[in-house]
Amino acid sequence: MISYCIPVYRPWYARWLISDLVRKTSAEYEILVWLNTEDAELETFLLHMQTAGHPLRIIGKTPQNIGMKALRELFAEARHDLITQIDDDVVCITPRVAEICQEVFTQFPRVKQLVADVWQDEFTTGARPEWSCYRPFDEAGGIYDGPIDGWFSVYHRSILPLLASLPFSQYFGAGCAVKANLTRQGCHGLLCNRFKVFHVIGPDYASYFNALDFEIGKYQRLGRRDIVAWYEGARSRIASRETLGGRIEAIREALRLPPATKDRSSDLHPVHV
C-alpha cells in the first residue's frame, strides 16, 4: 500500500526513523533508501533490518551528498499506490498513516498530496508555520490548506509523472513544488493533522543528537543566515541532555497513537515562528 522514500544523509536520525516506520506501519509497505553518505554503522543496521525480513531496499549509494536528486530514482522504484517522501531528520511518526491517506484520497479524488502535521513545543517548530497560515479544507477530517513541503509528504501514485518531471537539485522543496503544480491542475496538496511526525528542527533537539554543528554548517551552505543565527544564538542556553531526553521520550509516547483531528499541535504548544 505505501512506499517510504528516504534520501539518507544523517545516519543518526535515519536509524530512529526506519525503526519507527517498521514499528508503526500496519499496511503493506516498503522502505526505499538512497545513501548520500558512507557510514558503516548505518549499513550494518540496514543489513540487519533486511535479514530480519523487513521490506527494505537500498536503491543507490553516492558517497557525496546528492540530496534531493535521489528522489527521482526512489520514486521510480516505488511499487505501491502511496509514495511517501521523507526527510531523514523525521525520527518518529504516528501509526496508520497509509490507512488514513487512502481514506482521504478515496473520499476526495482531487486531493493528491497529504503532508503530516508536526510536533511543536518550545524547542521546535517542526518546520511548519503557525495555524493562522492555514484554512480548513475539511476540518472534520483534519485536512487544511496552507504552506507545506516534503518533510513527510504522501503522494497518490497517479501523479508519478508529475513527480518524475520535477527539476530536482541537491536542496529542493519538492513537496512545495508538487503542491504548486497540483494547484495549477485544479488538484490539491494539503496538510493532514490526522497523522503527525517529530521533525527534528531547532538547536536544542539537534544538540541532543550531537548534530548542532552539522546543522549550522548545512544552513550556512544554504545561505540561511536566519537559521544559522537562531542555532548559533542558542548555544549558551541549550536545555540539559536529561531534560531533552525526557522530552523526547514523552514525544514518542504521545505519537504512539494517531492524534485526534481536533488536536492541533500549536493549540497545545504555541510556537512563534
Domain ranges of the chain: 2-201+239-268
- Other beta carbons within 10 angstroms of residue 18's beta carbon come to 24
Q: Could you identify the residue written with the cell 513544488?
A: 177
Per the CB < 8 A criterion, the answer to whether 85 and 174 are in contact is: yes
Point out which residues pair with 7 in neighbouring strands. Answer: 34
Per the CB < 8 A criterion, the answer to whether 136 and 261 are in contact is: no
Q: Are strands 188-199 and 135-138 parallel, antiparallel or unpaired?
A: unpaired
Tens-level pLDDT at each residue, the chain (273 residues): 999 999 999 999 999 999 999 999 999 999 999 999 999 999 999 999 999 999 999 999 998 899 999 999 999 999 999 999 999 999 999 999 999 999 999 999 999 999 999 999 999 999 999 999 999 999 999 999 999 999 999 999 999 999 999 999 999 999 999 999 999 999 999 999 999 999 999 999 999 999 999 999 999 998 999 999 999 999 999 999 999 999 999 999 999 998 875 545 444 333 322
Please tell me the total number of residues recorded for the chain in this structure.
273
Strands (E), the chain: 2-8, 29-35, 56-61, 82-86, 90-93, 111-118, 135-138, 143-145, 152-156, 188-199
| Contacts of 157-165 spanning 24+ positions with Cβ under 8 A | 157/78, 157/80, 157/81, 157/82, 157/83, 158/112, 159/112, 159/113, 159/187, 160/75, 160/78, 160/83, 163/71, 163/75, 163/83, 164/72, 164/75, 164/76
Look at residue 63 in the predicted model and tell me its pLDDT: 81
- Other beta carbons within 10 angstroms of residue 73's beta carbon come to 16
Look at residue 22 in the predicted model and tell me its pLDDT: 98
Distance of alpha carbon 188 from alpha carbon 178, whole angstroms: 9
- Other beta carbons within 10 angstroms of residue 246's beta carbon come to 12
Look at residue 261 in the predicted model and tell me its pLDDT: 58
- CA angle, 4 as apex, 215 and 128 as ends, to 5°? 45
Q: Look up the CATH superfamily of 2-201+239-268.
A: Spore Coat Polysaccharide Biosynthesis Protein SpsA; Chain A (3.90.550.10)
Distance of alpha carbon 198 from alpha carbon 254, whole angstroms: 10
Look at residue 222 in the predicted model and tell me its pLDDT: 87
Show the cell assigned to 230. Answer: 537562531
